[in-house]
Amino acid sequence: MRVVRILFLDDPGSMIDNFSILLSHALLLIAAWRLLHRPDLDLEDPPERDKEPEGFGAKGKGGGWDA
């Protein structure tokens, strides 16, 4: 009962403010929970291999690493 008194009964005008904050955070928590428990969250095809590697995968293109 003390938690309810602290959250809602300190100021009669703050009851709506606390309720709206509680409601919005609860909805965000539900949305995050549903997104994290989707079965297709970690399923994706691997990327296609480059025909010619770029960046650190490229060999002998003057990056100074082959010297």
pLDDT of residue 29: 98
Whole-angstrom Cα distance, residue 55 to residue 13?
60
Please identify which residue in the block is written with the tokens 């296609």. Answer: 48
Whole-angstrom Cα distance, residue 13 to residue 20?
12
Whole-angstrom Cα distance, residue 67 to residue 62?
9
Residue 16 has pLDDT above 70, yes or no: yes
Residue 59 has pLDDT above 50, yes or no: yes
**For residue 5, what pLDDT band results from cuts at 50, 70 and 90?**
low
Q: What is the mean pLDDT of residues 40-63?
A: 74
**For residue 55, what pLDDT band results from cuts at 50, 70 and 90?**
confident
